[in-house]
Copies of this chain bind each other. A is one copy, B any other.
Amino acid sequence: MASSLPTQPPHRPEVPEVVIARLPQYVRILSRLLEDHVDVVSSQQLGEKLQVTPAQIRKDLSYFGRFGKQGRGYSVNSLLERLRQILGLNSYWNVAVVGVGRLGRAIISYPGFTPDGFRLVAAFDANPAVIGDSVGDLKISPMDDLKDMVARQQISIAIVAVPAEKTQEVVDLLTDCGVRAILNYAPITPQVPGGVRIRNIDPVISLQSMTYYLSGSDNR
């Protein structure tokens, strides 16, 4: 732990991680409702769309404040705004993509990040043959430029799509450079130092977590 002055930490009351993990879902549903010009929604209605109990939604929200009106429900617009603020989605996060092979290119070409608060601003690859190539409107930079560009462009999130055997070293490099959130596409679970968040996109693991339930009866 860091040296402990008797100052209070920025004191956010302790919110369970599972709760945080559900908030983006709420944000998404609320965005849809907003597009559909729905003004007000109850925890009941939200719960149906999300397969979650209304009590859970109310409890989750209660960690952050009192956003509803008794007897009516929640204002879609203002609840959405509050949640985006809580999650830090009201301005853009600059994101670096490391590894620009087939998968990396697909990620860069995916149009879904930008509308939701993320801006891919840099791409890196270790292969000298592709340095300088453009993918979408990103120019591929050498790994040597990573540290500088991360600092200069205030990048605190990286998407890693390099071969499994390179992933740990890339993750180490990124965390050294001050990146504090990583989305990893390789089929491994990299180690990260405390204070750094990581999420793994791992379709094989996802599939394997379902086969257990299929194999009870034996259809193949």
**A interface residues with partner B (beta carbon < 8 Å):** 10, 12, 20-21, 23-25, 27-28, 49-51, 86-89, 91-95, 102-103, 106-107, 109-110, 112-113, 116-118, 154, 156-157, 159, 180-181, 183, 187-189, 191, 197, 199, 201, 203-217, 219-220
Cβ contacts under 8 Å, A220 to chain B: 91-94, 154, 156
Does the CB pair A211–B88 fall under 8 Å?
yes
Query: Which of B92, B110, B199, B201 contacts A210, CB < 8 Å?
Result: B199
New contact pairs (9) apart from A112-B187, A199-B209, CB-CB < 8 Å: A23-B208, A24-B209, A28-B188, A102-B109, A117-B211, A157-B210, A180-B213, A199-B206, A201-B201
Does the CB pair A205–B25 fall under 8 Å?
yes
Query: Which of B88, B102, B215 contacts A215, CB < 8 Å?
Result: B88
Does the CB pair A208–B116 fall under 8 Å?
yes
Cβ contacts under 8 Å, A181 to chain B: 207, 210-211, 213-214
Cβ contacts under 8 Å, A12 to chain B: 216
Cβ contacts under 8 Å, A89 to chain B: 208, 211
A12 to B214, CA, bound (A): 13
9 A-B pairs in the complex with CB atoms less than 8 angstroms apart? A20-B213, A24-B204, A93-B220, A113-B207, A116-B204, A118-B204, A183-B207, A183-B210, A199-B206
Query: Which of B10, B93, B191, B201 contacts A216, CB < 8 Å?
Result: B10
